[in-house]
Each structure stands twice: as structure tokens, then as C-alpha cells.
Amino acid sequence: MKKSSKLMVISTAVSLFTLATGTIATALVNASTKNNQENIMQIDQIATKQLSRAGYVFRLSSNSLMNPMYRQAEQVEKYSKAYVEQLVVNKILFKVTEVNSLNKHIMVHIIDQSGKYQGWVSLLTGIYNVKALKRNLKPLVKAEFEVMRIKDSQGKKAALKELIKVEQEIKRLPKRNKEIGENSLLELQRWLNHGNYQFIPSLMIGQY
């Protein structure tokens, strides 16, 4: 075989190898992206069930005036500041019906009991749970806050040691609030185990 022919064969082989490896790499990236999106969607679905069970216990926080309320999860169209301010002033109670975190922001869809008011806000800064303001529940909220703070600063192992204080506060709760405390403990344990902020205990939304 002539030298030029050999070079052509080698060049063709290299090109085919490059094309093949490039195609494989692209396929792997696409598969990884798809798997990641599916994982996020699954987390969002679990979080949606958790938060929707809480019922109409959320109000727009004063932060909502700084962090807009949107008509879509993709944050394309905002409600006017005056509209949101009126909802804050009127202390409208909302329920979370959906969690969406595909755009790197954890957004929740909220709707009031009449169905008249609804929109998308930030889970972490847009709403708060009114039950956390109850005098009987404040010690529990404080104990859960400390567990979450320790987890973020010292890690899961250190935080787990503090759970006993949460359990002690639940025992001190009046009977009518024990179910709230027990559910919150289960949600806190889920958050500790998974570390996803979609799983933040519903009682702690707006507190941490």
C-alpha cells in the first residue's frame, strides 16, 4: 500500500473514532441530564405530597414584595407589586399544590381556598407557615431550627444527636398539637436523610 493510501486509511479511522466517541459522549451527557431531571421531578413529587398535606396554612411573607409572585413556575410573568402587597396585607391563607425545582430555583404553586388567588413563589423566601407562630409550638420550632442549623454547619451526624431535644418538645405539647409535632419530626428526619431543601419541614417554611 502506498504511503498516501495508508495515511488516508489512518485519517479515516481517526475521524470515525472521533465521531464515535463524540456521539457516545453526547449520548452519555444526554442520558445523565435526563436521569438528573427525572430524579428532580421525583423529589418534587414527594415534596408536593408533603406540603399539600399541610393544607391552607401558608401566607405570603413580607419577602414576597422583594421576591416576586409569578404566573408560571418558569418565572416569566410577574404579578404586580400592588397585587402581591394586597395579598400580604389581607393575610390570605394558601395551600401548596405543586413544587417545581427544574430551573435551579425551588418554586411552589400556591392557591387560596376560594381558588381566586394563585401563583408561583419561592419555597424558601416567599411563604411562611402560620402554625409556627403559635405560642405552644414555638419551642418546637426553635428546637427544629437548631437541628437544621447544626446540620448545615457541622453535618448530619452532629444534627442527629440533637433530635432528642425535638422529641422532648413534642412530649411537652398539648394533645391538640402533638400530631403537628410528630409529623414535623418525620419531615425533619426526611430532610436530614436526603438533604434536599424541597423536603424542608412544612412547619419550618419561612423560619429557616
Q: Tens digit of pLDDT for each residue in 20-29? A: 556 554 444 4
166 and 72 together in one domain: no
9 and 88 together in one domain: yes
Residue 158 pLDDT more than 90? yes
Domain boundary residue, one of 89, 104, 130: 130
Domain boundary residue, one of 108, 130, 152: 130
117 and 170 together in one domain: no
Percent of the chain with pLDDT over 90: 70
16 and 48 together in one domain: yes
121 and 24 together in one domain: yes
Percent of the chain with pLDDT over 70: 83
State pLDDT tens for residues 140-154.
999 999 999 999 999
Give the number of domains in the chain. Answer: 2
**Residue range(s) defining the domain that contains residue 31:** 1-130
Q: CA-to-CA distance for 33 and 36, rounded, in angstroms?
A: 5
6 and 64 together in one domain: yes
121-152: burial string, b at 16+ Cβ within 10 Å, e else? bbbbebbbbebbeeeebebbbebbeebbebbe
Domain boundary residue, one of 107, 130, 153: 130
125 and 166 together in one domain: no
47 and 107 together in one domain: yes
50 and 125 together in one domain: yes
36 and 111 together in one domain: yes
Residue 70 pLDDT more than 80? yes
What number is the average pLDDT over the span 126-140?
97
66 and 150 together in one domain: no
51 and 95 together in one domain: yes
Q: How far is CA 18 from CA 4, 9, 21, 22, in A?
A: 21, 14, 5, 6
pTM for the full predicted model: 0.79
Residue 16 — pLDDT band, cuts 50, 70, 90? low
Type of residue found at 117? Y
